Structure 1
Amino acid sequence: MFDDLPPDLPSLRVLRIWHAMWLARVDAKITRLREREEQQARAAAAAADRAPEWLLEYGLNRDARPNAVHTGDCRMAGGRARPVGADAARHALADGVAACSFCRPDTDLGIIG
């Protein structure tokens, strides 16, 4: 059935060792990738558990300025909102981005509009 293999025992042993080494490398890589995926899943679950503090909501144009600043738990923030830190939210408000009238992030950030 496997007539393409070498006919002598020493050559077959070399092939077996070579394939065993490659199999060990493949198994090690699989182990590393599984560990990385598990670590990323744990990190994603931890990030999903905590809501961001502030959100910048953008329009349909990806290159456009943000439309509004929201608190992290605001239900009025659309699907195009991205999490930002407090400093970025303050800068956006100072640059003229509108504060959400529902969640009032400007008062939470100490900015009087």
Structure 2
Amino acid sequence: MRTRITEVERAEAERPTPIRCPQPDWVLQPARAAADRRPLYVHCGDCPAATGRAITRAQALEALNNGIEGCGLCRPDTALGL
């Protein structure tokens, strides 16, 4: 039994660890309807409600300054110092 445990532990140690994509710092959530092209929200990258595409800090600032709302949950405006 100990031999089997050792074999299983060795196999587990040799298994490659999954590669995870880095988490974005900021996310721009698109509009729900295709007809409305204006994005809905800017999110912090770690926001559980964040869906959309990754954007840079400068793009997040520009979006917030141009009237796109910040998420009420993660408050990217506060995180960006606005």
Q: Could you say what secondary structure the match of 1:66 adopts?
A: coil
What corresponds to 1:95 in structure 2? 66
CA RMSD of aligned residues (A): 1.7
Query: What is the aligned residue count?
Result: 63
Runs of 4 or more above 3 Å deviation = none
Given candidates 20, 24, 28, the residue that maps to 1:56 is 28
What corresponds to 1:108 in structure 2? 79
Given candidates 49, 54, 60, the residue that maps to 1:83 is 54
**Percentage identity across paired residues of the two chains:** 40
The AA in structure 2 aligned to 1:96 is: G
Which consecutive residues of structure 1, in runs of 5 or more, have no partner in the other structure?
Answer: 1-44
Compare CA radii of gyration and give the structure with the larger one.
1
Alpha-carbon distance in structure 1 between the residues aligned to 2:36 and 2:74? 25
Which consecutive residues of structure 2, in runs of 5 or more, have no partner in the other structure?
Answer: 1-18
Matches within 5 A, 1:1-113: 45=19, 48=21, 50-59=22-31, 60-61=33-34, 64-78=37-51, 81-111=52-82
Higher relative contact order at CA 8 Å, sep ≥6: structure 1 or structure 2?
2
